[in-house]
Amino acid sequence: MKVFKKTGKGAQPELSDNPYIAARQEWMERYGSYIARASQWRMAALLQSVSLIICLAALVVLLNQSQVIAYFVSVDKVGKTAVVKADSVPSTPPEIIQNAIAESITAWRTVTPDYHLQGEMVKKLSAYVAGSAKGVIKSWYEQNNPAETAENGRMIHVEITQAPLPVSKTSYRVEWRETIRNHAGVVIESGNYVATVTIQIQKPTSEKMLLANPGGVFITGLAFSKTFAANTPNAE
């Protein structure tokens, strides 16, 4: 069988006496270009895969380096704000903490002629204080016995003038107003006070603790002062 073969570029195919060589030449002419293109596509796909891996690795590195800092902003009813980092805010909702502080101040400073109610307030306060704050409260009660104050005709009403505001990771500032009346309900005097309290969050470990202090908010430090004296009307 006679077959043709090419001897140079652009040359006409010439006969080859070897049928195997002729068949290989014919196969290469028909399918060689397809194989070459397939190899090129495989190489392109490999390069794309490598590029994708590099991009994903770079993205992971950038994400690990990125830092998002969130802040907690508290606004009271008169528009005053306090800003702390979100990672400095305890996991307990701020409303629970603010309510616990407000209730503690109210129970501590209120004086009522109702002995049972006064006792309940002292009991409530004891569920919220711990640490050095206990010493501050005890010292204050020694000098300001609420039962004697009531017997002397001085009833004290406490009004929290603004929601306690966070000033640091574990401390809050609270302001309140005290109005003193006699047994007839006539205002004797009034004044504004401010306190900075340090808190500690401890989850309730018993049913009794859960009922008395469900938020587990404890005042462990307390410093207070009178800010200014309001007008003092004369008692009739």
Find the CATH number of the domain harbouring 115. 3.10.450.230
pLDDT of 112 higher than 60: yes
Between 127 and 75, residue with greater pLDDT: 127
Claim to verify: residue 174 and residue 217 sit in the same structural domain: yes
Considering 31, 50, 65, which residue would you say is the last residue of a domain? 65
In a domain, 207, yes or no: yes
Q: What is the mean pLDDT of residues 196-214?
A: 89
Closest CA to 162 of 154, 148, 173: 173
Confidence band for 102, pLDDT divided at 50, 70 and 90: very high
In a domain, 157, yes or no: yes
**Domains: count for the chain:** 2
pLDDT of 11 higher than 60: no
Between 29 and 223, residue with greater pLDDT: 223
Confidence band for 144, pLDDT divided at 50, 70 and 90: very high
pLDDT of 157 higher than 60: yes
In a domain, 168, yes or no: yes
Claim to verify: residue 102 and residue 56 sit in the same structural domain: no
Closest CA to 79 of 158, 196, 162, 159: 162
Q: What is the mean pLDDT of the chain?
A: 79
In a domain, 81, yes or no: no
Claim to verify: residue 99 and residue 32 sit in the same structural domain: no
pLDDT of 136 higher than 90: yes
Considering 27, 50, 65, which residue would you say is the last residue of a domain? 65
Residue 57's domain comprises 3-65
Of the candidate ranges 50-64, 110-124, 177-191, the one whose mean pLDDT is the lowest: 50-64
Claim to verify: residue 144 and residue 206 sit in the same structural domain: yes
Claim to verify: residue 143 and residue 201 sit in the same structural domain: yes
In a domain, 72, yes or no: no
Between 22 and 101, residue with greater pLDDT: 101
The pLDDT of residue 135 is: 94
Between 169 and 16, residue with greater pLDDT: 169
In a domain, 83, yes or no: no
Cα–Cα distance for residue pair 199/223, rounded to 1 Å: 12
The pLDDT of residue 76 is: 58
In a domain, 236, yes or no: no
Between 72 and 91, residue with greater pLDDT: 91
Claim to verify: residue 61 and residue 96 sit in the same structural domain: no
Between 36 and 111, residue with greater pLDDT: 111
Cα–Cα distance for residue pair 156/50, rounded to 1 Å: 77
Claim to verify: residue 120 and residue 197 sit in the same structural domain: yes
In a domain, 84, yes or no: no
Alpha-carbon distance values, 44 to 33, 40, 52 (Å):
17, 6, 12
